[in-house]
A and B are shown apart, each in its own frame.
Chain A
Amino acid sequence: MLNLGDTIAMSVKGLVQHRLRTLLSTLGIIFGVAAVISMMSVGEGARRAAIAQIKLLGTNNIRIRELPLAGKELEKAGPRYGRGLTHDDASLLRQGIPVRSVTFAPLKISAADVRHGGRQGGANVIGTSPEYAAITDFRVAAGRFLSPLDLADNKTVCVLGAEIKEELFGRGDAIDAELRIGDGWYTVVGVMEPKQLYQGKTPILKLRNINRDVYVPINTALWRFPAGRDPFAINEIAIRVADERNILDVVRLAREVLDRQHRGVGDYEIIIPEELLAQARETQRLFNMVIGAIAGISLVVGGIGIMNIMLANVSERTREIGVRRAIGARQKDIMLQFLIETVLVCLAGGVIGILLGFAMGGLISLYAKWETAFSLAGVLAAFGTAAAVGIVFGLFPARRAARLDPVQALRL
C-alpha cells in the first residue's frame, strides 16, 4: 500500500501550486506562533535572569535589606523604630538563631572615591566582617580578606575589588600600598578575584558591580562613613545557611527576632532565592496572559483561514481527487494527503512564525529592556501548536475530499 513518504511528497506537490495563496493563508499561524515564541523567550529570559542572580547571591543565602520608610509610615513608626537595619540587629540575629552552620555578615555600603598616586576611581565601600567572603564565595586573588583582628582593632585596612585595583595599580602589586578612601588612609591587605557579573537587562534585584567593591572592617566603616541618621545603621545583613533545608526556618527565626526588635515596623525585607524566582514568574504572568490571548485568537482565526483555503483547494481539485480514486486511492489515502497538506502549511507558517517571534523577542529586549532568551521548549511548543492547528482545521477539508463520490468527482 501507499507509504507515508510518497504521501508527503504528494502533499508537497499539491501545495507548491498556489504558493502565494497558501502563504497568505498562514498569516494567522505566523502571528500566533510568533506571539507564543516571543512570549516564551521573554519568559525564558526572565527565568534565566532570576537564576543568574540567584547564583550570584548564592542559592543558600538570605539577604536582609533595609527598606527606608518615608512619609506616613515613618511618622507612624516613630523615629526610634523606623531606623532600618543596625549593627545591633546583626548581633541579635547571631545570638537569636540557634541553627547550626549559619553565618552572618553585616554590610554597610557607601559610595566613595578611592585614590592612589595620581589615579582615582569611584568605589562601593563595603563595611563588613570576615565571614562575608565565605558567604558570597568571593575569593582573594592576592593577600588576604578581612580578619577578626582587623575588626577588633578597628584597623584602617582594605581589600580591593579586581576592577578598582586594576584602575589604581594596573598590573602592579597593590598589597601593603597606602591609599585614600574618602578622606582617610588605608592599607591594602588583599585583592579579590574578578567575579563574573550578571550582564542581563532585567535585574530583579539591582546588584552593584562587585568588582568595584572595596571591603573595610565594619566598625571602621561605621565611624569613618557615618550615615547621619544613625551611627549604627547598616544596609544589609547577608546570611548563609549551610543546609538548604534550614533556609525557611532561619527566615522565620530572623523575622521573629527582627520584628521584636523593630516593634513590627516593616523597615526591612528578607530576600530568599525562592522568592526571586516567584517574583520573576509574577512579572511574567500578566504579559503571558495578554500574549497568550493574542496567540490563541490568531491561531484560531489562522486555523479557520487555512481551513477555508483548504476547502477551496479541495473543490478546485475535485477532478484530481476523482482521478486518484479511479486509479485506486482509498478514502484514507486522500484524507491523509490533504491532512498532511494542511499540516505542512501550518508548519511552514510555524517556521516563519518562530523566526518572527525571535525577531519580536529581540525588539522587546531592545526597547522594553527585558531579557529574552532562546527557549527550545518554546520552539517545540510552537511546532506542536502549528501541527495541532493543522490537524484540527485540516480534518474537515480532508474528510470532505475523502468523502467525494469518485463518479461525481469525475463528472464535474
Chain B
Amino acid sequence: MLIETGDLRMVYQVGATPVHALTGVAITVDHGEFVVITGASGSGKSTLLNLLGCLERPSGGWYRLEGKQVEALDDDQLSRFRNQKIGFVFQTFNLIPQYNVVENVELPLIYRGVEKGARRARSLKILEQVGLGDKIEHRPSELSGGEAQRVAIARALAVEPVLLLADEPTGNLDSRTGTGIMELFSDLNRQGATVILVTHSQEVAGYGRRTIEMRDGRIIHDSATGENQRC
C-alpha cells in the first residue's frame, strides 16, 4: 500500500478558537491509483492534500507513506521526503519568476543535489514529454496559463515522485486548456503515476478512477469502498 492513514486530524488555532480542518480521516491509496477529491469549499480538501504531501504534520492520527511513519519525521526529514517522493502541482502554477522554464524544472533536482549535466538532461526530457521542448528558455511571465501548468507538472515529475498531488490544477485555466492538462494527468497515470487531485469541477472529477467526497473535515463518500463513512 502506498498511503495509509488513520484518524487523521488537523486543528488550526485562530486566535482563541480552534478550527477543525480535518476531523478524523482514514484513507488508503494504492500505487497507480487516480484519486479525485471533491467537496465544498472549506471541507478540508487542501488540508488533507497538504498532509498527504508531507507539507505539515497532523495534529492527531497517523500517516504511513510507503510504510514510513510520516508524523514521526522532523522538519529536515519531511523536506527530504517531499523532495524524494512527492510532486506538487498548484492552482496558481507557482513557478519561480526569476528562473526560466528549464531552470524551474531543475529546481527540485538541485535540492536533491543532482549534478548539473544530469539534471539538465532529465529536465529537458520531461519538458519534451509535456510538450514544451521548444519553450525551455522562456520566462514564466512569457507563458500562457496552460503552458505554465505544464511546466509545473514537469517540475513535479522531475524527481520521479511516487505520488503526484494536484490542488485544483485547472482552477485558473479555461475549460479547453483544463482538458488538455487533465489528459496529461490521465496519460501520466496510465504510465504508472499515482495521482491525487482536488477539484471543484464535475467535469474534471470525471477523469478520476476513484472519487472521494469531503464535508466538514471528513470523507463522506469514497467510490472505492462505495460506503458512506459516518456523518
Contact = CB atoms under 8 A, between A and B. Distances in A.
Contacts of A320: 96-97
A258 to B, nearest CB: 76
A14 B99 CA distance: 9
Contacts of B110: 2, 6, 10
Contact of B76 (A10, A323, A330, A410): A330
Interface in A306-334: 319-320, 322-333
A328 B112 contact: yes
Contacts of A406: 55-56
Contacts of B97: 17, 320
A327 B107 contact: yes
A406 B86 CA distance: 14
Nearest to B119: A6
A405 B80 contact: no
B114 to A, nearest CB: 10
B84 interface: yes
Given A326-B53, A326-B82, A2 B96 contact: no
Contacts of A407: 50, 55-56
Nearest to A402: B75
B94 A333 contact: no
A16 interface: yes
Nearest to B92: A319
A324 B112 CA distance: 12
B55 A327 contact: no
B98 interface: yes
Interface range on chain A (Cβ under 8 Å from partner): 20 to 34
A17 B141 CA distance: 13
B75 A323 contact: no
A407 B75 CA distance: 13
A328 B84 CA distance: 8
Interface range on chain B (Cβ under 8 Å from partner): 20 to 34
Contacts of B50: 407
A3 B115 CA distance: 9
Interface string A387-398: 000000000000
A183 to B, nearest CB: 85
Nearest to A5: B116
Contact of B79 (A10, A14, A16, A325): A325
Contacts of A332: 76
A357 B70 CA distance: 56
Interface in B107-125: 107-108, 110-113
A134 B189 CA distance: 97
Interface string A1-16: 1110010001001101
B168 to A, nearest CB: 13
Contacts of A14: 98
Given A16-B98, A323-B94, A323-B96, A329 B56 contact: no
Contacts of B82: 325-328
A410 B80 CA distance: 18
Contacts of A405: 56
Interface in A370-412: 405-407, 410
B90 interface: yes
B111 A328 contact: yes
B34 interface: no
B185 interface: no
B223 to A, nearest CB: 27
Nearest to B96: A320
Interface string B55-78: 110000000000000000001100
Interface of B: 50, 53, 55-56, 75-76, 79-80, 82-84, 86, 88, 90, 94, 96-99, 107-108, 110-113, 155-156, 159
24 contacts: A1-B111, A1-B112, A1-B113, A2-B113, A10-B110, A319-B94, A320-B96, A320-B97, A322-B94, A323-B90, A323-B94, A325-B55, A326-B88, A327-B82, A327-B83, A327-B107, A327-B111, A327-B159, A328-B112, A328-B159, A329-B111, A330-B76, A406-B55, A406-B56
